[in-house]
């Protein structure tokens, strides 16, 4: 997308700041309210597929229903017609809170283990966000360090409900038998084996996240995602204190 494009006469699009499996994220400006925003725009190649269109819209509805200080807010949704070869394509987008800070993945990469105080505080923020989402019937299904930001003021923000599903969506169980969605390092056993997923899978992933914040490494590692997923299913996870004996006995 060309920089400085305006969506629907309201959102000015600037630099690309993120790229996911379904969409690109741009720094933007809400020209009506004069505030910075992040604009998540579905990839044009996927926008031609009705399945992906429906999935993206579902993501937007799920994310927009959440209102919590530890969850990135969704302000608006819409569609924009973009040229794609000979024919235009309608690309859905959502407009989100622009968060300044670092992801936990960036922090872990730079620092390794972060200490018990920060690990517990940041995990508590994640759990508070997940509690709210679960009360609204939404499972994140992709909790991992790259999807959690710590702002410049120290607040925790859970983002990218990109593969979230409503708990009441019975069609989710059929798609899970075809592919495991998520990141293998943080997959709950039921998620790795394609069984029905509920909020407990998010809590398992949050536990893996806490483990990594405390020790600097995830509970299971392997050469392939399949090898890691197998360990989640078959093996008992180690205690953080098994990796770092200097951690308090409670861990």
pLDDT of residue 172: 42
* In-domain check, residue 250: no
Residue 3 · residue 14 · CB < 8 Å: yes
Estimate to the nearest angstrom the gap between the alpha carbon of 244 and the chain centroid.
Answer: 28
At 54-70, the pLDDT tens digits run: 877 877 887 888 999 99
Same domain, 188 and 124: yes
Under 8 Å between Cβ of 194 and 176? yes
Phi and psi angles of residue 232, each rounded to the nearest 5 degrees, phi first: -60, -35
Query: Who wins on pLDDT, 169 or 29?
Result: 29
Residues 6+ apart with CB under 8 A from 245: none
> So what's the pLDDT on residue 57?
80
* From 83-87, 142-146, 209-213, 215-219, the region with the lowest mean pLDDT: 83-87
Give exposure, 203-241, as e/b (b: 16+ Cβ within 10 Å): bbbbbbbbbbbbbebbbbeeeeeeebbbbbeeeeeeebe
Q: Greater confidence, 18 or 103?
A: 103
Mean pLDDT throughout 122-139? 95
Model confidence band, residue 84 (pLDDT cutoffs 50, 70, 90): low
Of 63, 55, 46, the closest CA to residue 181 belongs to 55
Give me the pLDDT at residue 162, please. Answer: 56
121 shares a domain with 86: no
Tens digit of pLDDT for each residue in 188-203? 999 888 888 899 999 9
- How many folded domains does the chain comprise? 2
User: What is the residue-averaged pLDDT of the chain?
Assistant: 86
Of 59, 76, 97, which marks where a domain is finished? 97
Residue/partner pairs of 175-179 with CB below 8 Å, 24 or more apart: none
Query: 3-class DSSP state for residue 39?
Result: strand
Burial 26-49 (b: 16+ CB within 10 A, else e): bbbbbeeeeeebbbbbbbbebbee
- Does residue 11 register a pLDDT over 90? yes
Token pair 């968060």 is at which residue?
99
DSSP H helical ranges for the chain: 44-47, 50-64, 104-111, 116-135, 172-176, 189-192, 199-215, 225-234, 240-243
Whether residue 235 sits in one domain with residue 119: yes
Judge whether 251 lies within some domain: no
Kindly state whether residues 174 and 211 are assigned to the same domain.
Answer: yes
Same domain membership, residue 147 and residue 118 = yes
pLDDT at 5: 85
Q: Let me know whether 112 and 136 are in one domain.
A: yes
Token duo for residue 61:
């509805």
DSSP letter assigned to residue 221: -
Domain of 85 in residue numbering reads as: 6-97
Of 97, 117, 139, the domain-final residue: 97
Distance CA 80, CA 156 (A): 31
Q: Which residue has the higher pLDDT, 250 or 246?
A: 246
Is residue 181 pLDDT above 60, yes or no?
no
Residue 49 pLDDT level (bands cut at 50, 70, 90): confident
Cβ–Cβ < 8 Å for 182, 204? no
Say if residue 137 is in the same domain as residue 165. Answer: yes
Of 75, 74, 56, which Cα lies nearest the Cα of 162? Answer: 56
**60 and 132, same domain (yes or no):** no
Structure tokens at 135: 């009360």
Catalytically active residues, by annotation: 142
| pLDDT tens by residue, 134-177 | 999 889 988 999 899 999 999 999 988 755 544 434 344 433 33
Q: Are residues 149 and 213 in the same domain?
A: yes
- pLDDT score, position 4: 54
If one compares 143 and 87, the residue with the highest pLDDT of the two is 143
* CA neighbor of 38 nearest in space, from 101, 86, 85, 121: 101
pTM of the entire predicted model: 0.83
């Amino acid at each position: 997308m060309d920089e400085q494009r305006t969506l629907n006469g309201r959102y000015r699009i600037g630099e690309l700041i993120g790229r996911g499996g379904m969409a690109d994220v741009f720094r933007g400006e809400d020209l009506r309210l004069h505030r910075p925003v992040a604009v998540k725009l579905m990839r044009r190649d996927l926008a031609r597929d009705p399945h992906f269109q429906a999935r993206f819209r579902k993501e937007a509805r799920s994310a927009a229903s959440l209102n919590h200080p530890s969850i990135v807010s969704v302000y608006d949704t819409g569609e924009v017609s973009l040229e794609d070869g000979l024919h235009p394509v309608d690309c859905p987008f959502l407009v989100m809170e622009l968060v300044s800070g670092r992801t936990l993945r960036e922090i872990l990469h730079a620092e390794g283990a972060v200490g018990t105080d920060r690990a517990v505080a940041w995990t508590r923020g994640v759990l508070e966000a997940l509690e709210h989402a679960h009360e609204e019937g939404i499972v994140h299904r992709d909790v991992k360090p790259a999807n959690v930001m710590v702002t410049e003021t120290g607040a925790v923000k859970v983002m990218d409900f990109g593969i979230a599903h409503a708990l009441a969506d019975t069609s989710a169980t059929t798609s899970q038998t075809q592919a495991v969605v998520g990141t293998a390092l943080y997959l709950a056993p039921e998620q790795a084996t394609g069984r029905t997923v509920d909020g407990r899978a998010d809590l398992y992933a949050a536990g893996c996240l806490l483990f990594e914040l405390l020790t600097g490494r995830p509970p299971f590692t392997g050469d392939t995602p399949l090898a890691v997923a197998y360990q989640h299913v078959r093996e008992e996870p180690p205690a953080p204190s098994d990796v770092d004996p200097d951690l308090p006995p409670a861990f």
